[in-house]
Structure 1
Amino acid sequence: MDIISKAYAEGAAPGPAGGGMEMIIMLAVFGLIFYFMIFRPQSKRAKEHKNLMSSLGKGDEVLTSGGLVGKISKVAADSDFLVLALNDQTQITIKKDYITAVLPKGTIQSL
């Protein structure tokens, strides 16, 4: 029984020297990866979408996140909503945040 406990004691490796500094460097690398792969692209997309929302105007042909294509017929500067004309008879009111893209002029007629 004494032989087995000595074998375990001899096989144990000493703890790594300077392990704290390696851990700090590894955390810094993970932080940089998180910033460049997740946070920065997301903030860039949010900024582009905010610029898109501010540039919307009457007569723009747009695509919504629900897949609707229409022409903006009324934009209120003080409101977050706009009126979208799907055709000559149908108009809907939607929130500006649901606009995903501004389409080139004449897209609706080509569909």
Structure 2
Amino acid sequence: MLISNAYAQAAAGATTSDSLMGLLPIIIMFVILWFLMIRPQMKKAKEHQKMVGELQKGDEIVTQGGVAGRIVKIGESFMTLEVAEGKAGPIEIVVQKNAIGTLLPKGTLKSL
């Protein structure tokens, strides 16, 4: 019984440094995950917010759903897009600002 206690005490003293070394791969994996996935996604989201904040009336955009149009009105969280010219006048739709995917160069809609 004394020998068993001696083994238990020796193992308990060694686990403090072993547990830190066992935690090291998890920390390294988190750092790699941060630089490869989380950080670029946050950067992309920040650029999208900046682009949406700088939109003006008359800009040509494409929504994330693939609808191309020209901005007619801009509100707090919604905007109105002119998507086509109909017999009774322009056809307009209302979309959320966050649904904007891409800002097109001026004159792109005329070439479509």
Higher helix share: 2
The residue aligned with 1:10 is none
The residue aligned with 2:55 is 56
2:85 maps to 1:84: no
> d(CA) in 2 for partners of 1:95 and 1:31?
34
**Aligned with 1:90: secondary structure?**
strand
TM-score (norm 1): 0.78
1:38 alignment partner AA: M
2:107 alignment partner AA: G
> d(CA) in 1 for partners of 2:53 and 2:74?
11
Cα RMSD (Å) = 1.4
Give ranges in structure 1 of 5+ residues lacking alignment.
Answer: 1-14
The residue aligned with 2:35 is 36
> d(CA) in 1 for partners of 2:84 and 2:30?
50
Give 1:58-73 correspondences, 5 Å limit.
58-73=57-72
The residue aligned with 1:6 is none
> d(CA) in 2 for partners of 1:74 and 1:48?
22
TM-score (norm 2): 0.78
Higher strand share: 2
1:107 alignment partner AA: T
Aligned-pair distance for 1:19? 2.9
- Between the two proteins, the alignment pairs up a number of residues equal to 94
2:97 alignment partner AA: K
Deviation beyond 6 Å, 4+ runs, structure 1: none
Q: Residue by residue, what CA displacement relative to the aligned partner does 1:70-109 show, whole Å, maximum 9, x if unpaired? A: 0001112xx1000000023210011000001100001001
Percent of paired sites with the same residue: 36
> d(CA) in 2 for partners of 1:44 and 1:93?
28
2:82 alignment partner AA: A
